[in-house]
Every structure is written in C-alpha cells, then in structure tokens.
Chain A
Amino acid sequence: MKLNKKITGILFVSGMMLTGVTSGWSQATLGGGGGGETTLESGTATQSGFSGRNEAARTRRNLPQPLPDVLLLSDLNEILQMQGEPVNLHLCFPAAGMQLSEMQLAQAAAIGQAIGLRVGHRTVLVTHGPQVREGAVNVVVGTVDFAGKYLDPAARMNVKGSFLALGKIAGWRTGFVMVVTGLLPGDVDEVILSLGVVREKYPKAQSAMIKRVLLPDRPPFLRQAPLNTDSLYTFKDLQDIGTNMRIPENGGLEMEIFLPADIFTEQNVEFEFKLHCLIGQGALRSSGEMMVMVGDKEVLRKRWSEAESLGDGGSELVFGVPMNHFSPGINKVTFGAATLDSDRKVTSLGMQSMNKEDFRIYSDSILLIPPVKRYVPLPDLLLTGKTFFPFIGQPDGSEISVLLTEETPDTVNAAITFLTKAAQQANTFFYAAQIGYAEGGTKRHRIVIGTRENLPTDIRPRIPLTPLTGANLQGGNAGKDELKKLDASSDPDMGLLTTLPPSTNSGLWTLILTSGSPASLNLRTRELVSAPFWDQLKGEAAAWKTDETLMQFKLPGVSRAPNTMLSVAELPFGYRMYFKYWLFLVVVVLLVFMIASWRVLKKCEMIYNARTGGKA
C-alpha cells in the first residue's frame, strides 16, 4: 500500500488565505547584499520552511514550549519545533480501533515522515489510537465523517475536499491537534501529501482547503538533495536545494551539507569553501582567526589577515577542507571566529561569541566540490543510518517495500517511528513506498519490521540470531563480559537491526528490524531512533537493549561465519537452548529411541521364536 497519488507539478493551497503558487524549494531567505546578492541574516532561517531550526527552540528543545492561543497553519513548523525533544507524535484514526488497515497504515507512515521532516533531526516517537492524547502532537486522520468531530461545526460544513486544520483542545496544557481530513479517502491522501512535499508556508489561518498537490515528473529529494561531486555551488544554490543554513547566536554560519552515500572521501582531496564575507571591526578586535568545524571537530583555521579584500567592501576567505573529514550523509559545517586562550598562543576549540553584525557571509560564497571517485559502497548500518543507503534509489521511496509481520499496535508504532527516522536521515519523503502487512513487490528493497517468530521464512535463517560474539563483535563501551549478557538470541527483548545483502543478483537489499515481541520491538525502536543509539550504528547488524553503552555490532571482519555451536535452538513451547546442548539432547533422545526400539524388537523376537520354534 502506498499513497494513492501520481501527481506532478505545483501545489495549490486555496481556501482561507493562501492563493500563491510556488514550486520547488523555498525561496532564499537571505537579506540584501551588494551586487544583487543577498546576505544571510540572523533569524531568517526560521522562515526557511522545512528544516529550519529555530535557535530559540533549539536551546529549549528538551521541554515543550507554551503554545500561542491561536495556532496558525503558517506557523506549523514553528509550532512543531516548540514541542519538546523527542517529539511525541500521536496519530488518531477515529475510524479505526487499535488496528490499522493497510490504507491507514500507509497514511500513518506518510504523516510520520511529513512531521519528521518538519522537525529537523529531532527524534519523533509515534503512537496511534482512536482517540487524541494530551501532551502530544496529535494528527487526526480520516474522512470528515469520522474526523469531523474535531472540527467546529462551521469548519466541518466547509469541508468540500481536502482539508487541514490546526487547533488546541480546551483544558490541555500541552499538545495540540491537527486535523487531516477530506470528503473522501483520496482527499485525505491529498492533505498528507501536502504535509510531506510542500515546503511553502500554509496560509495564515487555522484551517485551509487544499485543491490538489502536483509533483514534478522526476521525484525530487523533498528536503535536501545530496550534493554532487565535480560541482560548484553558491550558498544560495545550496539553500535552493534544501541545505539548512543558520546563523548561530555567537555569530558565523552553520550549514548542513548532505553528501551522497557513494562518495569516496579521500584525504588528499579538498572541499573548497570561498567565503565572501564582511568582517566588522568588532570581529577584528576580538579575534584574529576564523575557524572551520566539521561536526564538533575543528578542522581548519585562518587568520583574518589572510582574507583577500574584494572591491565591494567585503573579503574572501578560502578554506580547503580535506575531504576525509566528511562522511556520507549530513555533515554540519560551522564557520566562526576562533577563541584564543589567555596567553593568545593556543586556541580553544570553541567559537568565540561576537556580534552578528561583525561577521556576515554573503550568499554568493562558493562551495567547490572537486571530481572524486564515486563507487558502489558495501552497505552497512553506518551508511544506512546516515543516508538510508542502499534503500533509497529514487527519492520518493518507490524502490522500497515495507513489510510489517504483524498488525499489532506496537509493531505499527515501531514501524512508523522507524520510517520517520529513515525519512529524516534520507532527507526525503517516501510517498511512493509500499507498506503493508503482506509481501509487496518483489522488485523492491525490503524493509521488514516485526517480531522474530513472524519474520518471513526466507529471512529467518539469514538474520544473525546467533549471539553477536567472536572476533567480529564490537560493543559500544562495554567489556566482553557485559556483551555476553546481551546475547541477542537468548534475550528476546533485545532489538536487532540488520541489513541482508541480496540473495540473488537482483541487487535488492533487505533491512530487518526485529525483537522478541511487539512490545519490546516498539520499545527498542523508540530507543534506536534516539541519537545516542542511532549515531552508533555500524556493521552488518546491531543489537541493543535499554543502555546505549552496551550496544553491540556485528562487523564484517576476520570471522564472518557464525559459531554454529553457539547458535540457538528454538524448541517447541518457546524453550531455547544453545545448539551444542541441543545436540547433546538429540544424541540422548536418539539413543533412548534406539534402546526402546531394540527392546521392542527383542520382545517381538521372543514371540516369534515361541511360535515358530526357530530363530528370527
């Protein structure tokens, strides 16, 4: 099941306020600058739609902020970002009980992703049910017959097609409700698509009618497209393709560049940043150097004096950052003034706080990516965790088929939570992915989510149910003894994430997320999508439970073959034992059976001899 849409082109949002038409990425939110260029201004990123991170929200992200009295659709992203970390997303299907149909499942997955893409990289934990829940971001989904009860009567009368509304419920201290509805199920799909693909702001109203959603012929990355090698991008270009940029409170520039999975990060190749900037007097006074950080690590610094003066009053600083500091996926790059220690000789790693007006970077600054080798990497969880490679070929997820092995609410919650994370990491909205309780298309990558005992038979033997021990085992921060305790096979509550290579030359991979029961699966998934767990992902398989420091991984290495004697035999009635003990048990039972058979034969031989007088 996938969202029933094959549309290209433009989004029309009509109704209360919006009449504008836009396509593609949000327009530049840069301030004016010399030569027709614009400069990035503090606070403008909050207008940049999708993944903009409100700095204030960022500092307060762990706690939900009080919401304004009137919730406007135009402020949807801000409202979402005012929720705490993690974002508790509750999907309310008034027409369903706790079990979702395949159509509702597809809608739920799409909404999860849409919200996930609107809250940046914050963790989204999804639940669902027939009622709304206080304290959560509630999305009520269904046709107006069912979801209409969450609308006021006047608004309900206005529902003629696709309809989206935002509001608070009286008496709630936190949390709000978004109603995704329409006359027909197709209308509901339309709204969901708009949530996922539209980067333009909704109208300044509490509700809006949506005429239709048109998508381009070639599915784009709906949040941020990966950068190509051998390319030159101005910072404006980068913004246009969805790169998130913002000005931190202490000045400078922070940007997230998204590199493809198949890029070969070589040490002797450099990414060249040519910063067209305006350096204020305050900056020159307070610090003599500017530094570049990739992630949280300082990689380069330059003196202001090295800046080449340009005719327009600005300067150009060139940074050649070795490529091996980057990795596939999202890389946070920060430019800012470096702080010096007291004797002014050794710099600290921190950015110096300075006035934003003292340091401006123009949007015609350039990122030059040289030609580097592209290759087909061997997928592992590190790469999957960062880019969702190899499951994303087409950005619309049309190469994925998601199979839920059971219909329990916990499994559904786990699946939607996981897919939301996947969409965030892949920076796109999988509106064309198939999702269901039965096997989908055979020509798609498979994502299988469910309990171990219900995994398809072709998969069960291939997942490393055996303990993740041996030379190819690595634990987070744990010693070997602790790892033994966390045996993925003997502890049914452990979570297991693994990628399986294609068993044929189809090139189709399988990703499996599993645990012993639906409840533990949901619990483990909620853990997994949080940064402490997710950021550790690597290798062929990962197993975890509760403590991120005890997370363990199976890495391709010296001993790839599992130790068969340590594999687990699953006996009837839910009993389990190590294969070596089971083998011993088999020998005993076979011996007993042989002795029993021999006894029967001897007794019957006695009868035979008695009646024939001979010897058998």
Chain B
Amino acid sequence: MAAKTKLAIIDVPPPSGYRGAIFFWLLALGALLLIACTYLDYNAQLYLSLGLLALIFILKFNRDGKVNRVIFLTIASFIVLRYLAWRTFTTLEFADWVSFSCALVLYMAEFYGILVFMLGNFVNAHPVDRESPELSVYEELPTVDVYIPSYNEGLEILEVTVTAALQMRYPKEKLNVFLLDDGGTDQKCNSGTKETMKQAQERRSNLQRLCETLGAIYMTRERNEHAKAGNLNAAFHRTDGDLIVIFDADHVPTEDFLEQTVGYFAIDPKLFLVQTPHFFVNPDPIEKNLETFHRMPSENEMFYRVIQRGLDFWNSSFFCGSGAVMSRTALEVTGGLSGDTITEDAETALTLHSKGFNSVYVSKPLLSGLAPETMGGFITQRIRWAQGMVQIFLLKCPLFLRGLTFPQRLCYFNSCFFWFFPFARIVYLLAPIAFLLFGLKIYAATWQTFLAYAVPHLLTVITVSSYLYGRVRWSFVSELYELMQSVYTVPAIFSTFLKPKAPTFKVTPKGEQLDKTYISPLVHPFYIFTFINLLALGFGAYRFIKEPVMDYPTAITMFWSFFNTVILLAALGAMLERRQRRATPRMPANVEAELICGDKTFDCRIMDMSLGGCRMLVQAYAERAIEAQAGGILKVFMGSEEEKVEWNFNIDFKNVRRDIGAEGLVVGAQFNHQSLEERKAKVRLVSGNSERWMEFQKLREGRLGVLGSFICLLYLGIKHSLQHFYHLLGHFIGVVTGQSRKVETRTMGGARG
C-alpha cells in the first residue's frame, strides 16, 4: 500500500482575498436586487427590456468567452430580477380569498422557478473540462477495489459488468473486482418461503460460479441492512484497496475507465471522488415511446454534460452512486458511505465536502448503463431521487452545514432545492385552468405590463436555457419530463416532508422487456389533466368571445393552457408503452470487419451492435454465400495500425436484405459465442470503447431552437397521443368483442440504478 502514504490530508488555505471577493459579490448582489426593485412605468420598462434582450441575443452567439458569459448571465439575471420585483410588488392583488390564495400559490411557484434559475446561473457560470492526468509509474499506482453491488439483477447483466470491470486497463495485481451480492445473503438463503430461499441459494451458487469463472471475488453478507449503502459499507470494511470503484450491476465500464480517473488521486491528496457520467445505451421510457432516442439528446445529458461540469468548478460535483472512484482514506473519515438518506451517494459527497475533501468530475462517458425501460421503473427511480434529495435538504440543510465553502452551499442547495419542481410544475399546469374555468384572479396585470415585464422574462429564461444547455437539451423537453414525474413525486415529497426519515430504498427495475404495446397504468391523472385543460381552452374561447373586456388576459392564459395541452399530449404519447423485444439495446457503430462465410471472405462494416448481435453492411455479391450458410465468423480488427488486435466471433445469420440506396447487403446476425474468451472479446468490442459513446453523444447533439423545439413537441404530442387514443380504442373494441389485448411484461432481470 505504497500509495496510502500519499493520501494524507493537507489543508490548503483559500487564496488571499477570497473571502473579500465573496463579501464584495454579496454586496453587489444586494445592490443589484435593490435596483431591480425600482418601479418604472411600462413604457420605460419595455424600452429597458428590449435593450437588455438585444444585448443578450448578441452575446448569445459567443458561448466560449468567460467574460462574455459573465456579462450574459448578469444581464439575464437582472431582467429576471426585474420581473420578480414587479411580480412581487404589483401583481398580487386581493380580490377575494380564493383568488388570492391561488395567486399566492402561483407566485410561490414562480418564485421557486426564479430562484432555481438564479442558482443555475451561478452553478453554470464556468463549467470546466478536464484533461485526464497520466497514471503514475507502476510502483506508485494505488490498489483498486471494484465494487459491483447487486440485489436481484440477472446473471447475464452481471456477467457483462464483471467481465468489463476485469478488462479495465490496469495492473492486474492492483485490481480486485468484487461482486457484492445482496440477493444471496445468509438472511435471504435461510429465511422466507421455501421458494425464495431456494432462489437465493441458487443465485448465490450461480454468482459464485460466475465470479470463479471470470476471476472476480464473490462477496455477500449476513443480513440485508441499509440497502445499497449497507452492502457497499460491508465490503468496504472487508477490503483494503486504496481506491474504491463502484459500478451498478448494469453499468459496464469501458477499458480506459481507470486510466482516465485514477491519475487525479496522485495530484490532489484531498481528493475523495472522481465521478464519471452515466451513459445509457437504451432509451428511457419517454424516449422510447416518443421515438426520440436517436435524434434527441438524452434527459440525463444536461446534468452529466453541463451541470456536473459547472459543479466541478465550484468543487461541488457529487457522487452519483455508480461510475465513480473514491478514496478509502476519505471514506474512513466518515466510516464508509453515509446512510441517513436514500440517496447515499449525494449525502456521502456532501459530508466529505464539508470535511474539506475535494471532488473531480470527468465528463467523458466511461461506462454504459441501462435506463429504466418502463414508466413504472422510471417513476420509481425518480421518486427515490426526489425523496433522497429532499431528505438531504431537510436533514443536512446544505446552506448551513458547517465546513462547506460558500459556493458549495449554493451548489448543494441548488441540487436539493431543484427537486421541489413537482409542486411548481403542477401549479403551472393548474393555474391557467383556475382563470379560464373559474375566473379566479391569479395574476393582476395589464397586457402592457405583461408585455414589458413578463414577456422579456420568459424570453430571457428560454434564451439562457438555450445558451447553457441548448446543445444537450431541447427547449421544453424539461417541461415534459418534469410534468411526467411531478404527478407522482408530489405525494412522495410531501410525505418526506412530514416524515423525513421514513423513505426507504426502492430498487429501480431495469432490463425489462415488453412483449406487447400497452398503455401504462400510470396514465389516469394525465387523462384528467388533459380533459380539464381542453375544457379550460373551450371555456377560454367562450370567454374570449363573450367578455371582450377580458380579451387580453384570456388570450394570454389560453396560450399558456395550449402550451400545457401540448405537453400533456406528448405525455399521453409517452404513456403508450411500446413493445420492446430486444433484450440488449443496439448502438450505432462503424467498425471495419471481415465476414467469413464457408470458405469465402467478404469485407464488411458493422453498422450497429449490441451484446446480442449486430447489423453489418456486406458486399453485395456475398448474398448467395450467406444464404447458403446458417452462420459464419466475424473477424474484427481493433487497436492501432501498429498494434492491431484480431477477434473472431461466431455468428448466426438472422436476416439478409438489400436496402434501397445501400452500398451492399444489410445482414443481421446474432452472436453465438463458443468460449469464455469469445464472450470477453464481445464485451470489449461492444462496451469497451469510450470513444464510441462520445461519438454517439455527438451524433445527437444539435440545437433545435425554441420554435423548432416547440413544433417538434407539438408534432410528437399530436402523433403519439393519436396513437395512444387509437390503441385505447382498439382496447375498448377488444373488450366489447371479447378479444381483449393482454398486457404482458417480462422481466429479464433487474439492476439497481
């Protein structure tokens, strides 16, 4: 353990003038707030807003300059603060108690949104990219223990993850891979029904055999205490590696994972965490059901490709439960992972940050994982995250936790406070209805003042969002995701508020397959909301015609309600769970290979592949040879010109077709591995290359623009909600005729997320 001596904690004082700079900044912020509270007549405000908007539109085109970014965010913040001041001092009027209560709730929702916006600006003021440091010489390299916690995930999933972990480039003597099985604990093997005991025992023996075969270490414990954190802590106390790497059971690391991460620990002795992004090779249920996976950036990219980089600058990037390297020395200070909340990852990071340790975020995707496939799994996962972060907010209170720096307080506060979005989202959904249906006065403004204050505010928020996240998040996609979660997370958050220690860890089901398309049982609230929204729009139209005195407020609120309806239609579309037969998701590839078919060899290119099979483009004249054979050998060359590695994979042909415009034949094949080595090679080929994941991310990058995003959302909403209703109609017809479709879901195995 030579490296241990290097991990001694050294206190580095902040540079001189740091506290003064923070104090000065707070003073300037106070002045900004004060001057933002000035009342202007709407003409003056309109001119001011137009001028400032023009400035930020110009600045928007230069995203790289640091100074430019500061100016941009300052001006944008000022516009938003002006709106907040106006909203606070002039738009809350007492008409009657019901209206005033609703107005106050809407105001609070907006206040929340603006606070999160301001905190977001702070967090993302200076996102950083890192160049990974080179690894030390062999003798100085720390020993690494890889923990793969498992609870109920299938053997196939675990085999891939363990195999990939063992294939990470690192000296074998300094790398141990532990499969931490919570599904085969003594408690599980010796208690419960006969059947569950048998299942646990079988699982334990199967996994022991798997580990033995692959060269990993199987580890279980006596009792299932404290869920995932307990499992990891149990292993922590029984192992002694300098560094601990944690992978969820479905998170398959690339070969260069340790090369890209371990080097940081040699530079910073106070480093406790190197976190990497979670890259998903399958679409989440919304992407899957709206068919956007291959053209729209994934939902989590905003967090992993922008926000975590922003947090990293403030030394606040936090542990996300998997794909991270942690320092044993640091964890020993806290006695392992914290377990007061169900998001042990963020909680541990918060605790260690407060003890003066540092974190690093590497933005390169170094693992591939699985997103939950069904809406149920997705909601379960999000409820856990929301409850966990609210628990941290209540139990740890980052704003006042001793030991954190001022930026860290703001960053953690932002990370926790963000999870109150469900309340705001529901309010935004219901507020226009309150006006259109019930005529409640919830927003006292004229169209002139609305034009002068609210419109610039909205444009600013959209522009800033596009400026900060536009590459990885299309406009209004957040609204869709948040709305879909909100309906179910509101009660969960509320219950957490009442009993902060009550929530328990719930495993996110993953690797599910859906044999048939069906409507998610979670859809009912969305039917109600859509119906009420459409009703409100109808009422609004009536009001618009019959009450010309209220035409502007009605028109504005109708537009708002229309926007909500578009989001709701997209949500309904996403609630139609589409059939998913493929167990392992295919990802695009561009790998040169040779196809040996009988005694003939053909050049080919792998177009996409998964752990189950691949699709190749083969020379056209190979058709006869392929049709004559049931299978062949796929010879793949990897590595550089100097150091070329050759892998041979046995494959079975599944289909052959000649696509119009294609250069040759498109051949679908299934891997038919004959040996362990071949299986290992397949894992390296399919999941071992981080460059491939980066290329895929780049493929989906692209700004669609605000209008483009809205039109896209409108299109998706109409198209998929129509399919939803068509399916619903079919279901009813089936019920009437006695040929009801049966909904079948089959779980291949679950993994924790």
Contact = CB atoms under 8 A, between A and B. Distances in A.
Interface of A: 438-439, 442-443, 456-458, 460-462, 465-466, 503-506, 508, 561-562, 564, 567-572, 579, 582-583, 585-586, 589-590, 592-608, 610-614, 616
Contacts of A608: 128, 313, 315
B15 A607 contact: yes
Interface string B14-37: 110110011011011101101101
Nearest to B447: A503
Contact of B407 (A466, A604, A613): A604
A113 B354 CA distance: 73
A583 B35 CA distance: 10
Contact of A460 (B17, B74, B78, B90): B90
B21 A562 contact: no
Given A508-B549, A564-B43, A590-B78, A572 B125 contact: no
B313 to A, nearest CB: 6
Contacts of A611: 12, 267-268, 270-271, 315, 358
B41 interface: yes
A457 B444 contact: yes
A602 B20 CA distance: 13
Contacts of B602: none
Interface stretch (B64-72, B338-346, B616-624, B697-705): B64-72
**Closest A-B pairs by Cβ, 8 of them:** A461-B42, A596-B28, A570-B39, A506-B549, A596-B25, A593-B28, A458-B446, A599-B21
Contacts of B41: 460-461, 465-466, 562, 567-568
Contacts of A461: 41-43, 446, 448-449, 452
Interface of B: 12, 14-15, 17-18, 21-22, 24-25, 27-29, 31-32, 34-35, 37-44, 47-48, 66-67, 70-71, 73-75, 78, 90-91, 93, 95, 125-126, 128, 130-131, 133, 264, 267-268, 270-271, 313-315, 358, 360, 407, 444-449, 452, 548-552
Contacts of A438: 95
Given A439-B95, A603-B14, A607-B15, A593 B21 contact: no
Contacts of A586: 35, 48, 78
A457 B449 CA distance: 9
B128 A579 contact: no
Contacts of A456: 93, 444
Given A582-B35, A582-B40, 11 more contacts: A461-B43, A461-B452, A571-B35, A586-B48, A593-B74, A600-B407, A601-B125, A606-B15, A607-B14, A613-B133, A614-B133
Contacts of B270: 611
A442 B74 CA distance: 41
Interface centre among A461, A570, A590, A594 (most CB of B within 10 A): A461
B548 A504 contact: yes
Contacts, number: 172
B407 to A, nearest CB: 6
A501 B470 CA distance: 44
A505 B548 contact: yes
Interface centre among A439, A585, A612 (most CB of B within 10 A): A612
Interface centre among B407, B548, B549 (most CB of A within 10 A): B549
Given A592-B28, A611-B12, A564 B44 contact: yes
Contacts of A569: 38-40, 44
Contacts of A571: 34-35, 37-38
A594 B70 contact: yes
A457 B93 contact: yes
Contacts of B18: 603-604, 607
Contacts of A572: 34, 37-38
Contact of B314 (A458, A593, A599, A604): A604
Given A504-B548, A598-B67, A603-B15, A589 B28 contact: yes
22 contacts: A461-B41, A461-B42, A465-B41, A503-B447, A504-B550, A505-B548, A567-B43, A570-B38, A571-B34, A572-B34, A590-B75, A593-B25, A593-B32, A600-B21, A600-B407, A601-B125, A603-B21, A604-B126, A607-B315, A611-B271, A611-B315, A614-B130
Nearest to B129: A616
A585 B70 contact: no
B446 A503 contact: yes
B21 A457 contact: no
Interface centre among A568, A597, A602 (most CB of B within 10 A): A597
Interface centre among B14, B38, B313, B551 (most CB of A within 10 A): B38
A593 B267 contact: no
Contacts of B75: 590
A599 B93 CA distance: 41
A439 B93 CA distance: 11
Nearest to A597: B70
B588 to A, nearest CB: 32
Contacts of A589: 28, 31-32, 35
Given A442-B549, A582-B38, A616-B313, A601 B448 contact: no
A561 B43 CA distance: 9
A605 B133 CA distance: 18
A612 to B, nearest CB: 6
Contacts of B43: 461, 561-562, 564, 567
A1 to B, nearest CB: 16
